[in-house]
Structure 1
Amino acid sequence: MSKTQCDAAGLDKYAVGRLLRNGTWTRVTRCVYDTDPVPVERRRRDDYHDHVRRRAAWIGMLAVPDGIATGVCALALHGLAGLPARLVPEAARPQGKDVAVSDGVVLRRYTPFPVERYRGRRIAALPHALAQALPHLTRDEAVAVLSNALHEGHLDAGGMQRVRELVRGRRGAAAVHGWFGLVEARDASPAETATRLSCIDQGVPPDGQQVTFTSDGVFLGRVDFVWRLPDGRYLVVEIDGRAFHSGAAMLADDSLRQNGLVGTDRLIVLRFPATRSLADGGVGQEIAERLASLHWKPNPLHQAPVTLPLPLPVPLPSSRRRAP
């Protein structure tokens, strides 16, 4: 909450002071208060990281009079995935007007750009927010954000071209333009983007992505990444993210799906937690080492379902076999 909002709610400086002293509110920066008494680092919620990013965006908008969320803060409010875990609050003023801002808040000075309404405030329209943010992101973050924008339908090919045009001429644009060729709409999560880029860096780009396997017309599963091996088998890599692979029902479904896939004896399945894929590039190195031991050579797959032979029958335990 900002001081302006406090004034509108009839809370004078003495009332605000009491709320601060008893710990009900905390001062975030000059004239901006957090009304949640639980410290940020101790909050427990499924969308914790998104909550922290949105909080940073609101701090920027509230700390800057008439503040417009820009760059990464605007992207957080647009709901894009792949952003850094912690954002520096940033905002711009209409027509680029200068104003004194609090410590820890960045005032951006951009030429006029389109805005959208967001809960009574204004944020940069998505293509412009992307162009503002990309030069301040790492390669992996930028590719993850752009891939997410395509995957979720926030942008189409024309919109992506528009972002490229808007980036041109900005500081750091040369590096950013080299990243657009790595964007992939089939990346279903930032963890998948990180895995794919790690594999590319290791010289083992996937032969297929989001590939469906069937056997005698029966759906076995759709997998994240596939490499076709010289002996007719396939190396499959699955990235397990909390949002999509948690809970007893989901774990049971994953087990059934994996059992159906490996039951054909034609697939080698590797699974990695999303946290590890996002943490470092070690996943790509491990996959590359496994592929080297299997004598893999690049052999891209088309997107049609891959048909496997019928699974081999699973023998019953000896105690359950019928007597001769």
Structure 2
Amino acid sequence: MARYLIINTGGTIGMADGPNGLQPQPGLLRETLETHPRLAAWQNHERLWQEWQPLLDSSDIRPTQWYQLRDQILNSDADAVLVVHGTDTLSHTAAALSFLLSGTGRSVVVTGAMRSLTQANSDGFANLEKALQILEQDRHEVCVAFGGEQNARCLPGSRVSKHTDHSTDDALFTPGWHDADFDQPAGRAEQPPMRPWRPAAIGLITLFPGMPLDGLMSMIERNYRALVLNAYANGNVMNDGDLKRILERAADKSIPVFVRSQVPDGEVKLGHYAASSMMADIGAIACGNMPLEAVLTKLQILACEFDSSDAIVRGFLEPWAREWQGHR
């Protein structure tokens, strides 16, 4: 028998109908997990509960809560931890925990559902069953249990992205990932991030034809800690002298530029096309096929942990939690 800590942050899985639609229902998740016949396998283990007050819609989860979860997990003596979370930002939290807990040896599973446990056809039952299976495997990393009745899977926490709404149970996908990649070492931070959260400005710009450049320039002049460009295809950008001068200004101010692809399953390969040569010339860092959620959360954590741009870049390039795995 194992000892599992269950942290309920909120989300659709534990909601019930209210006067204005679905709303969080404290105690619903615990009552269902401990009494529903389909979840009887959970009764074979000791369960410790921490239910947030108030329960949060995941659109209200911010970096402060990522660090709160980290501290709850590190301060627990449980064998492993289940984090129950809404799906809107589940991929951000799973990525953040993957990085914050890298190298700690903690076993964590994050799950949620597209439909409440009060509904007979809820995908939450299958996801909770899969979560227990993963916990029993004693993986020393952060994983996500998701997919519902037909496709509940174990997914790497740092490579998950949400690609659809409530119309399907299989709302999360892992660009470039194959389950055989789990056979590779996960990687680890040389020193797990231990600082408390402090806000850091990370800029995100999506390129589009005819876009104005004043927003990008404003981020640079306001000394953002890092910039992420959602570029075309393999990291291509428009041949624009003003854009190049602005990015050179970022380099002069030691603001690193990270390039990812707008294509959902795309992979940045600077130099593959001449249209990406500008990025190589200004020393931009290619993000490979890392999901946007992982790029942003890792940069936020690195900017919190380190004061220098060089340390941010070094940390970003180090494989901490499978974020660099998949087709490259």
Instruction: Give the alignment's TM-score, normalised by structure 1.
Output: 0.25
Larger radius of gyration: 1
Using CA pairs under 8 Å that are at least 6 residues apart, name the structure with larger relative contact order, 1 or 2. 2
> Counting helix residues as a fraction of each chain, which structure ranks higher?
1
